[in-house]
Amino acid sequence: MITTKIAALFFMIAMTAVASEPLRGPVAEPAEKPDTEGSSKLSMNPVTYTNEGEDFQVVFPSGCGKLVTRSNEPDLFGGEQWDDIIQVNHVYCDRYQENGEGCSVTATFNLHSDDGSIAGPQHVVTRVQEILAEYGAKVISQDVIKKKYDNGIFIEGVEIKAKPDTGNGEVWVRGLIAEGDIYILTAWDITGGVWDNPDYITFFDSFKPWVD
């Protein structure tokens, strides 16, 4: 079963050495101006987000009235290589538009291995490792996720809570796979307090790999 494979691969994450740099934001500034949704800098209400393709839905916390989205343009019909059809949707929020705290979702569709097989556990592990390296964070706790929704959709993956070597920063990463689609949810705060924050707990728990 894939779950067994994920559990076995899971330990690769903790064994991966990452730089001991201060906790930092999720992505560099895009080369082109990103799309934004909403404009309320100090939104006091949670924000329900559905991606343009209506593939997934998630509730961002208060302070995320302005969401930044980025996506590529895959060549779904004329592509000559598997990489040509990969589609990536990325949406993130710098909470209250302040650097140092926020959350994001990165969805990857049509991802295949070189042999043409659809994305599997190794792809999830690789992306989680990349996130940890980007944040300069080391694993504090790790768990395997397995869930079947009422509509029959099944997801599984890994959950990581990590910290940098110095400072109070915390990062929470959940890497999921559902029917070959990969979703990476991340929340961070350089002052800590992410793991027990009800807003971020709702963010992670509200995620659905479909739209009602």
DSSP-derived secondary structure letter, 117? P
pTM of the predicted structure, to 2 decimals: 0.78
Work out the mean pLDDT of the chain and round it to a whole number.
77
State how far the Cα of 108 lies from the Cα of 71, in Å rounded to an integer.
10
pLDDT tens, position by position, 147-197: 998 889 999 999 999 998 888 999 999 999 988 899 999 999 999 999 999
Q: Count of CB atoms within 10 A of residue 52's CB?
A: 11
Locus of tokens 């994001």: 104
* pLDDT higher than threshold 50 for residue 202: yes
pLDDT tens-digit series, residues 79-117: 454 444 467 889 999 998 888 999 999 998 877 556 556
Residue 129: name the closest of 8, 19, 1, 5 by CA: 19
Residue 192, beta-bridge partner list: none
| Residue 108 confidence (pLDDT) | 87
pLDDT tens per residue, range 54-75: 889 999 999 998 899 987 664 4
What pLDDT, on a 0 to 100 scale, did the predictor assign at position 123? 79
Residue 17 binned pLDDT confidence (cut-offs 50, 70, 90):
very low
